[in-house]
A and B are shown apart, each in its own frame.
Chain A
Amino acid sequence: MVKFIFRRLLVMIPQLFLLSLIIFILAKQMPGDAVTGAFMGNPNVTPEQVEKIREQYGLNDPWYVQYGAWVGKAVQGDLGSSYTHKQPVTSLLAGRVTNTVTLSLFILIVSYIIAIPLGIIAGRWTDSWSDKLIVTYNYFAFATPLFVFSLLMLFFFGFVLGWFPTGNSVDVRLEVGTWDFYLSKLKHLVLPGMSGALLATAGTIQYLRNDIIDTKLKDFVKTARAKGVPEGKVYTRHILRNSMLPIAAFLGYEITGLISGSIFLEMIFSYPGLGQLFIQSITGRDFTVTTAIVMISGTAVIVGTMLSDIILSAIDPRIRIE
């Protein structure tokens, strides 16, 4: 098992290398650069000055030199500095990464907390009224665009009822580290988090439901019944464990989806996370920030699939690799 995890980690190195290369090249292909983004249309800046700034930041070097410099610094934790924010990307991202990760984890956990019982109920009692209710919910959740649903949530719970704050990730007046500070963080998390989770859960519910319906017809379930295993135990001991496999395998992709989904959520709820920063950095041609964010998201995907592999190999003896 340890060996498998080690090997799986080793595989990540070429993946990350490839990812960084692709991102870097793509970013270079974007029209304009940080300098055009920052100074375009500013009559006080002459083309000579622009050229000087370009030279200063190394933007005129061949791409592989730039790439080498970028990677070399990145592994030391230096992702360059933002042209628009005039501060190191690392410190710019630090707080936002935490926010996005917290938001994603919140969505992930809540969507599983909802999906697992609902999926089991729908799968076990197929065609019952509760199943029909759950399936109907799924249809709605699949059909509703995230931004429409988020806006409704924001309007209703944020403005009409006023139960939750409508922006930011925390009340800035509170002192960091106090109980109230964390409580405020949680309160700020609820609206964007629930908006994401209530929709994201539909996929998992549907997956789990279908898998349980498939699994309960399998021969080994008949074997279990023929052993006299009580119905409840047939589910807990035999069906569910098998049906959880694809859910676990799905975890990695789930993370990918959450990260792209968080862009909408963060924009709508003015939640200072990566997504919000990402949009700003693209419009501002903030090359270093953009590449850093794409790199982080890409890494999250790679780590996610690795997690899926490891979880799967832990629970499925058939792919346990010695």
Chain B
Amino acid sequence: MDAIKTEALTKYYGKARGIIDIDLVVPEGDFFGFIGPNGAGKSTMIRTLLGLLSPTGGTADIFGKDIGEKKEEILGDIGYMPSEAVFYRNLKVREVISFSANLRNRDCKEEARKLCERLELDTEKKISELSFGNRKKVSIVCALQHRPKLCVLDEPTSGLDPLMQKEFYDILEERNAEGTTIFLSSHVLSEVQRHCRHAAVIREGRLLVSGSIEDLGKTQAKRVTARGISAPPALDGIRDTAVHGDTVNFLYSGETKKLLAALSLLPLTDVNIAEPDLEEIFMHYYREEAE
């Protein structure tokens, strides 16, 4: 069964664009990244899936249930972590966590205790005393303490220090290994590349591409760093050139044989030819789409 399936899902805010004709499938048990720059429509997509926004058009099913008809049932299976971790300021951390569990009519004390311990979260502090990073931790506990079938995470790592980011992803990997579907939005491509199996790219409200991380990362382009020269070789397919002293860095899309032939004619002292990382590929992908 698909954890998430949308067909032509559309949301307009009056005349302003939110998301347009999104067709997306996230299989159950997947670790899925939803990538896009700020304002692309990631949060609108997530808020529509969670029933906070009513879609203008199209359909969306979560575990085969329509989001409009079975919203409460669906939300019972979801753990949601919003990008802004905002809670009732006058409550203590443990009160917020307990309130969230009570709203689900579940006893999650043991799981909450384990999560708080792993995230080093002081449950006796008031929300108003917490930093953004610590509020994010509260958000993680509220999203995971009831062991949901689907975790929807909107920009989950912003505000978390690197150690906590690692711990957080360790928890997600464990949950995913147990069968939980993870759907996370991010504009940090490296974390999507590192943790997700599949991803989709959204730009200006429209889905550009969706597939496995491996397939999305496949490209003919090479990142070339050459020392001992002050300009790239005269070849078609060279772009994104940067010159620092006697080092030239550029992206080359074309035949490798031609590149090597051109480089062999130059007085190089060193050369490195590598696959561009996913971030680089997406940045170029965005630019190409924009052009």
Do A and B belong to a common assembly?
A: no
Instruction: Enumerate chain A interface residues (CB-CB to B < 8 A).
Output: none
